[in-house]
Chain A
Amino acid sequence: MKKIFFCLLSLILAVNSFALTSKEEDALVREFLWHEFVLLPKDKRPKIGVTLSAGGLRGFSHIGSMEVLMESGLPVDYMTGTSMGCIVGALFTAGVSQERMHNLASDMPLSSLSSDLTLVGAIKYIFNDKLFSSQKFQDFIDNEVGGVYYENLTIPFACVSADIKTGEKVVFDSGPVARGVRASMNLPGIFAPVEYRQRYLVDGGVVDYMPVDIVREMGADWVLAIFALPDYSRNVPSTIMGYVLRTADLRGAYLTTNSEKDANFVIAARVGDIGAMDVKETLKAVDIGAKATIKDLAAMQENLLLFSIDYVFK
């Protein structure tokens, strides 16, 4: 047994000598060009935008995705996000550490979303049609990002919400970050609309689940869209809230079809049947996001390099 273990170990640790296969030749060039590309000054390369989809707590997968992308050296010039994508985007562009984001993914209690998530609140919700307030969540985010304004973020960032009165898309790219984040994740039917400048704002996923269009408007030449891709087929909702969330998901998937076409590259983190409010599975979602991004990383790099090839050789 020991002999075989050490045979295995030596195979595992072996440093191979080999002539190059076509794939290895491609990898060598990709690695080289990628290295040169990430070193290019900002004004000597295309502007890169990253957009993060909505998806409830499943969207914690974006933390894993961003971690891998940063490790790869991808420069990010603009970012947008909707709902959970907005939360992760805001934390990321505000410079919150990966470690803190992991902690939030593992420890964030649902009670941080609203002070009404109590028995009394639930009774009011059911019998008085009184929606939950998301003010507490705004305070929570404000605390996490240190009260920062959009104008002061390290990377220009915008997030999307919807005016439930007019159906218009409302983009937040100025003022306190936490206010926009609250409006963007304000699930209709669960949280009361956020009143802001004569508007009644709900979750941006209603109108723009994955805001590729907004990041392009900000100035991105090449856009990477990251989608927390659910799998609806595994179960049928069994609660009112389950149906509300499923309806939002289905509509989101429909909206995403168009956004995907407008992006240059899409990374789909297959978060399966993790529920939109499934607090126990958030770390699993982070892991899925990281794995999906690692899997697509080489293809993503090649896509961006082909888009930017003239810049690399200038």
Chain B
Amino acid sequence: MALNANAIFGLKGRTEQKEQIAKARQAFAEENYPETIRLMKDFTLKDAPKRRIKRAYVLIADSYIAMEEYDKAMLTLSEALEFYPKDIDLRLTLAGVYYICDLNSRAIEEYEQVLKQDDDNPKAILGLAQSMHKEGFYNKACEYFKKYIELTNSQAANVYYNYAASNYMANNFEPALELALMSFEQNEDPDTKLLIAKIYKSQGELEKALLTIRDAWLMDINREDIYLTYALWTAYEPLHTKQGLEMAQDYLKKYPNNRLALFIEYIAYTRLGNEKKAKESLRKIVALQEKGFIDSAAAKILKNTNSDK
């Protein structure tokens, strides 16, 4: 009789568990993440079947990720991996969270761990490529991107863009250009255009670089980073200096204390031989009393020009 009761209660328990998971999933679908976490938190402590506990961990971790509470997501996933050390999905998610939090070495460790179990896992290979790039290991990143593309025949513009960027950083300009152009063919986006411009510049094709960066900026005229890069490049080149100066001054009308625009103005005035105005730009930067590289450079140039006299 007792056995029957247990069996009945066990069955009832399992039904409750299923219902609780369904409720949590519903809450997650409705983006009610705190409720998802509340429903699943004590579930992990229950005597539920392993697969359901895993689902609970996944839902908790996913909720934390959705709420951008990455520390908690890491803890949840690490705890889950203690129970399921061979679970590839959990490990990939943990690696992804590490990557987002700039814990690239840890992300690399997790991705490498996945590859020990499944040496052709495309998600791990792509994750490694991205993490290696972020860590500054550009040649290694290229190797993984290549492997990923070979394995998946991926033609995703983002993958090609990142592969191109790794090649660019590793000074492999020809493949970088080819990949960036392929990426641009699929997705005409200003970042890819900017990368193409940078590659042209590195290859010494200055006019092409200037035309391309102009196009990149025209694709999104709100992109201040592209605008200022364009201004910097033009100000430095004797044939285009005046244009660079105008661009910097236009920007300064809007943001009179922008150090970068002031530095571009300094470069342009130096190129145009207007030493007085160039010094004025530097003095304005120094007066801002910030402590970055631009400020140190401005102070150093000012000091050197004063000591020359």
Q: Is the CB of A13 within 8 A of B158?
A: yes
Within 8 Å CB of A306, what residues of B?
296-297, 300
Chain A min CB distance to B87 (Å): 10
Does A11 interact with chain B (Cβ within 8 Å)? Answer: yes
Closest beta carbon of chain B to A139's beta carbon, Å: 32
Return B59 CB to nearest CB of chain A, in Å: 9
Question: Residues of B contacting A290 with CB < 8 Å?
Answer: 136-137
A112 to chain B, nearest CB (A): 27
Interface SS of B by simple majority: helix
B229, A28: Cβ atoms closer than 8 Å:
yes
Q: Is B212's CB within 8 Å of the partner chain A?
A: no
Q: Knowing A4-B62, A5-B96, A29-B297 are in contact, say whether A19-B224 is a contact too (CB < 8 A).
A: yes
Residues from chain A with a CB closer than 8 A to the CB of B292 are 22-23, 25-26
Q: In the complex the two chains form, is A15's CB within 8 Å of B294's CB?
A: no
A71: chain B residues within 8 A (beta carbon): 138-139, 169-171
Chain B residues near A29: list those with CB within 8 A: 232, 260, 263, 293-294, 297
B92 contacts partner chain A, Cβ-Cβ < 8 Å:
yes
The CB with the most chain A CB atoms within 10 A, among B97, B201, B222, B236, is that of B236
Question: In the complex, are the beta carbons of B159 and A17 less than 8 A apart?
Answer: no
B188 at the A interface (CB under 8 A): no
Determine whether the beta carbon of A309 is less than 8 Å from that of B300.
yes
In contact, A310 and B100 (Cβ under 8 angstroms): no
**B301 contacts A309, C-beta separation under 8 Å:** yes
Q: How far is the CA of A22 from the CA of B294 in the complex (A)?
A: 9
Instruction: Find out whether the CB atom of A4 lies under 8 angstroms from the CB atom of B294.
Output: no
Considering the complex, give the chain A residue whose CB is closest to the CB of B194: A15
B250-291 contacts to A, CB under 8 A, are 258-260, 263, 267, 270, 290
Residue among A1, A5, A33 with the highest chain B CB neighbour number at 10 A: A1
A68 to B138, CA, bound (A): 9
> B66 near A: Cβ within 8 Å?
yes
Min CB distance B293 to A, Å, is: 4
Interface size class of chain B, counting residues whose CB lies under 8 Å from the partner chain: 35 or more
CA–CA, A22 and B290, complex, Å: 9
Q: A15 vs B99: C-alpha distance in the bound complex, in angstroms?
A: 15
**Does A231 belong to the interface (CB within 8 Å)?**
no
B233 → A minimal CB distance (Å): 7
A interface bracket (residues with beta carbon within 8 Å of B): 35 or more
0/1 per residue, B33-63, Cβ < 8 Å to A?
Answer: 0000000000000000000000000100110
Q: Which residues of A contact B191 (CB under 8 A)?
A: 15, 17
Q: Is the CB of B169 within 8 A of A12?
A: no
Residues of A within 8 A of B156 (CB): 13
Cα–Cα, bound, A19→B224 (Å): 6
Contact B66 A4 (CB under 8 A): yes
B residues 162-204 in Cβ contact with A at 8 Å = 162, 169-171, 189-192, 201-202
Within 95-123 of B, Cβ neighbours of A (below 8 Å) are at 96-97, 99-100, 105, 123
Write the chain B residue with the least CB distance to A18: B225
Task: Decide yes or no whether A32 CB sits under 8 A from chain B.
Answer: yes
Please provide the chain B residues from 65 to 108 with a CB less than 8 Å away from any CB of chain A in the complex. 65-66, 89, 92-93, 96-97, 99-100, 105
B293-A35 in contact (CB<8A) = no
Most buried by A among B138, B189, B293: B293
The complex places the Cα of A32 from the Cα of B237 at a distance, in Å, of: 12
Whether, in the assembled complex, B304 has its beta carbon less than 8 Å from a beta carbon of chain A, the answer is yes
Most buried by A among B123, B229, B297: B297
Query: CA separation between A99 and B300, bound complex, in Å?
Result: 40
- For residue B286, give the distance in angstroms from its CB to the closest CB of chain A: 14
**A26 with B136: in contact, given A1-B93, A18-B225 (CB under 8 Å)?**
no
CA distance A313 to B275 in the complex (A): 12
Closest to A305 in B: B297
Residue-by-residue, is A280-314 near B (CB-CB < 8 Å gives 1, otherwise 0)? 00000000001100100100001001100110010
Q: Mark out the residues of chain A between 1 and 53 whose CB falls within 8 Å of any chain B CB in the assembled complex.
A: 1, 3-5, 7-9, 11-13, 15, 17-20, 22-26, 28-30, 32-33, 35-36
Smallest Cβ distance from A302 to chain B, in angstroms? 5
* B223 is an interface residue with CB less than 8 A from chain A: yes
Is A291 touching B135 in the complex (CB atoms < 8 A)? yes
Chain A minimum-CB-distance residue to B137: A290
Q: Beyond A15-B191, A302-B296, list 19 extra A-B contacts (CB 8 Å).
A: A4-B62, A5-B92, A8-B93, A8-B96, A12-B99, A13-B130, A13-B159, A17-B191, A18-B225, A20-B260, A28-B225, A28-B260, A29-B263, A29-B294, A29-B297, A32-B233, A306-B296, A309-B297, A313-B301
Question: Interface of A with B (CB < 8 Å)?
Answer: 1, 3-5, 7-9, 11-13, 15, 17-20, 22-26, 28-30, 32-33, 35-36, 68, 71, 73, 290-291, 294, 297, 302, 305-306, 309-310, 313
A-B pairs, top 7 by smallest CB distance, nearest first, are A294-B136, A8-B96, A26-B293, A13-B158, A25-B260, A26-B292, A15-B191
